[in-house]
Structure 1
Amino acid sequence: MSITIDVTLPPDLAAHAAFTRVFRPGHLTLGFVMPLEAYPDSPLPTLADHVDRARQADEAGFAALWLRDVPFLDPSFGDVGQILDPFAYAGFLAAITKHISIGTAGVVLPLRDPLLVAKQATSVDHLLGGRFLLGLSSGDRPSEYPAFRLDFRDRADRFRDAVDIIKVVTQESFPQHRSKHYGVLDGSIDLVPKAAAGRLPLVAIGRAAQNRDWLAANMDAWIWHGPDVSQLSAIVPQWRALGPKAVFKPYGYGVMFELLEGPHAPLQPGRYLRAGRYALIDLLRRHQAEGVSHVMLNMKLSRRRAEPIIDELAEHVLPLFPAG
């Protein structure tokens, strides 16, 4: 079931193809963290069937595919996501998918020039026909920062500064802006293209080294994670209380996921989501009733192949949690 929430979408996002597909008041939708592949014993996926699996998820009607930003292999973390750069990969996915939203989860903003991030994001957004969501993070791997001659300790300040720049250059024409860590815009030049549908929705991935008040005031949605997926939705009332009561500020979470082969297998306790489909449906219904808007499923640790998992979810679970 869904719940009735007395909020409205921000006017400039009410008709946004990607935002309204993934985030709807009172409804929970399902997406995947790329790659759509199980690789529990390696930090590197094979990407052997990534085109077929992306098309499978698109044709089945899932809400979104999310692309991580991991520039280096750090053996202590043991995972490099989909290996490929998220903007390059998003451009490729624009050519092989038709309906599914494509998001970044998230671009490590302090490691990138925000003007180039804005250019890449709006370019991909046009290639996708407005199906793009810009998810931003501060990065959680200190080992990467020295390679960029950056200090991990000031990433929070750099993140805020960079978000301001992205908003200015994607929403204003010939803007004037002076940043703390980056450059100066004097009104003589303009970034093109602008977003395909007016503006880019900005999604915080993780805490981005910020407090929740700043996230609520500056981002359009928040996708987090937690130590125990069965407890995650307790944060939703706190999140809602931070923003304007009449404006919809979606909350979701990402989680390592394994759909167990037995459909009646119970939900296993712990920080990873392992369950048969009936227990999964019960959990998602509870989280939908509590106000969770989107769940990003990451199949890295699964012992089952991705193809039958997507098929089973598409047949038995997705009809209960359809995309917008």
Structure 2
Amino acid sequence: MTASTTIPAPAAVDTSTAPSGHAGHARLFAPGELTLGLIMPLETYPYTSRPTMEGHLDMARKADAIGISGLWLRDIPFFDPAYGDAGQVLEPLVYISALASVTQRIALGTAGIVLPFREPNLLARQISALDQLSGGRMLAGLSSGDRPFEYPLFGADFGQRAEQFREVYRLYRKMAEEHAPAYSSQRFGRSPGGYSVLPKPPFGRTPTIAIGRAAQDTGWIAANMGGMIVPCPPAAAMDQTVSEWRAAVAEGTDGEVFKPFGIAGFLHLSQDRDHPFQRVRAGFRTGSRSLARFMAEAREAGVNHIALNPRFTDRPMDDVLADIERDILPHFPSLTA
């Protein structure tokens, strides 16, 4: 669904690390670098629970054109008025197919698919197909979910979400990456082998990122997934949090394998470009130049990506992108053209 219709052939790569040649991963992540992504929708709506989604594809084109590194889509299966957040409204995997058709370079990720609610065979086909059709720009951000009321609606147990996450993840990886795998699961059936799930990821593996720790311990994530994006830790804990992640990756992979660490939060972007950087509930209130200074500090601590949700900014989204283009992207550009 990119401007080119060529779909890259599967590569013979070691899929224990980042997939070689994967455009989305290369655009977002590299040792010693920090990039900026935005959490969808690209709309500011500080006083309502639902975005209008007016002109949303045009805004995605603009984000791609100015050099934003990635767009992240949340998975909110049911809208709860008491919770007051509908995300981008559109189902994330369906929406990514539309975004891929109107953009060329920007990485497209989920933040994150609630894994205990998903059937692994279908999920493997969906994610691999999106990675193929987008030319390798798809990243699978996966979560355990954080809204207890949703679990009974899927016949799932909130108290068992950590175990359910690991089971679906194991089967997803097996079905997506192995040829004719054998498997057995009480929830999802069994196969003696001999049957393949198609298509396969174009580069051997679609990168997987744990979103919000996914109810897992850091050691398990470091050993089994391709990276982690979490709510921004307190300033005093930033260095230690990143160091613990790097140590867990080194232990879980028996070597110095690079797996990215990212942070996320809501963005309240002031019209005053030098408004002091302030931490607020679940995010930041700041001017664009102050945000750039914070990002420099985060990069120094070892953070590789920051994903910001502009929902609570009380300014038009066009103005937000203009500030980012002028004051952020010259210092924190996407890593590939």
TM-score by length of 1: 0.94
* 1:300 aligned residue: 311
Kindly state the Cα deviation for residue 253 of structure 1 after the two structures are TM-superposed. 1.0
2:162 paired with 1:156: yes
State the Cα distance separating 1:182 from its structure 2 match: 2.2
**Kept after mapping to 2: 8 A contact 1:227/1:270:** no
Q: Secondary structure at the match of 1:253?
A: strand
Q: Is the 8 A contact 1:260 1:275 kept in 2?
A: yes
Q: Partner of 1:142: helix, strand, or coil?
A: coil
The one-letter amino acid of 2:259's match is K
Contact between 1:38 and 1:306, CA under 8 Å: does it hold in 2?
yes
Alpha-carbon separation, structure 1, partners of 2:62 and 2:275: 25
* Distance in 2, Cα, partners of 1:228 & 1:261: 25
2: CA distance, partners of 1:226 / 1:61: 23
CA contact (8 A) 2:124 2:172 kept: yes
In the alignment, the residues of structure 1 paired with residue 127 and residue 63 of structure 2 have an alpha-carbon distance, to the nearest angstrom, of 22
Structure 1 gaps of 5+ residues are 1-8
TM-superposed CA distance for 1:185, in Å, is 2.4
Counterparts of 2:334 and 2:221, CA distance in 1: 25
What's the C-alpha RMSD, in Å, of the aligned pairs? 1.6
Matches within 5 A, 1:47-66: 47-66=53-72
The SS at the match of 2:159 is helix
2:228 aligned with 1:218, yes or no? no
Matches of 1:138 and 1:279 in 2, distance apart? 33
1:96-245 paired onto structure 2 within 5 Å: 96-226=102-232, 228=234, 232-244=238-250, 245=255
Comparing 112-121 and 269-278, the one that deviates more: 269-278
Secondary structure at the aligned position of 2:149 is classed as: helix
Instruction: Tell me the residue number matched to 2:269.
Output: 259
Q: What CA distance in whole angstroms lies between the structure 2 residues aligned with 1:107 and 1:207?
A: 13
CA distance 1:227–1:242, change in 2 (3 Å): closer
Inter-CA distance 66–12: structure 2 relative to 1 (3 Å threshold): closer
- Asked if structure 2 preserves the Cα contact closer than 8 Å seen for 1:25 and 1:293, the reply is yes
Task: Please report how far the alpha carbon of residue 44 of structure 1 lies from its aligned counterpart in structure 2 after TM superposition.
Answer: 0.6
Give 1:321 deviation, angstroms: 0.6
Letter in 2 for 1:292: V
Q: Which residue of 1 aligns with 2:46?
A: 40
- Match of 1:249, as an amino acid? K
Q: Secondary structure at the match of 1:258?
A: strand
Residue 315 of structure 1: how far off its partner (Å): 1.9
CA distance in 1 between partners of 2:43 and 2:239 (Å): 27
Aligned to 1:84: 90
The answer as to whether partners of 2:238 and 2:301 remain within 8 angstroms in 1 is no
Alignment of 1:283 onto 2:294:
yes
Using the aligned pairs only, state the percent identity.
41
Shift in Å at residue 232 of structure 1?
Answer: 4.2
| AA partner of residue 204 (structure 1) | A
Post-superposition shift, 1:41?
A: 1.1
Deviation at 1:174, TM superposition (A): 0.5
Deviation per CA, 1:28-75, whole angstroms, max 9, x where unpaired? 000000000111111111001211110010001111000111011112
CA–CA distance in structure 1, aligned partners of residues 125 and 235 of structure 2? 35
Separation in 2, partners of 1:127, 1:198: 15
Q: Secondary structure at the match of 2:191?
A: strand
Report the count of equivalent residues: 316
Tell me how far apart the structure 2 counterparts of residues 231 and 302 of structure 1 sit (CA, whole Å): 26
| Structure 2 residue runs without a partner (length 5+) | 1-14
Other structure's SS at 1:284 match: helix
SS in 2 for 1:54: helix
3-state secondary structure, aligned to 1:13: coil
1:284 Cα deviation from its structure 2 partner: 0.2
**TM-score computed with the length of structure 2 as normaliser:** 0.90
Task: Please give the per-residue CA displacement for 1:2-50, whole angstroms capped at 9, x wherever unaligned.
Answer: xxxxxxx965523211111111110000000000011111111100121
**What's the CA shift for 1:227?**
6.0
Q: SS in structure 2 opposite 1:273?
A: strand
Aligned partner of 1:64: which letter? Answer: G
The answer as to whether partners of 1:37 and 1:47 remain within 8 angstroms in 2 is yes
Stretch deviating more after TM superposition (226-235 or 144-153): 226-235
The match for 1:249 is: 259
Distance 1:190 1:10, change over 3 A: closer
* CA-to-aligned-CA distance 1:103-144 (integer Å, 9 cap, x gap): 000000101111111111011111101100001000001111
Question: Which deviations, in whole Å up to 9, do the C-alpha atoms of 1:151-199 show, x marking residues without a partner?
Answer: 1111110100111111111111001122353221221210000002221
SS at match of 2:215: coil
After TM superposition, the structure 1 stretch with the greater mean CA deviation from structure 2, 196-205 or 177-186, is 177-186
Q: Secondary structure at the match of 1:35?
A: coil
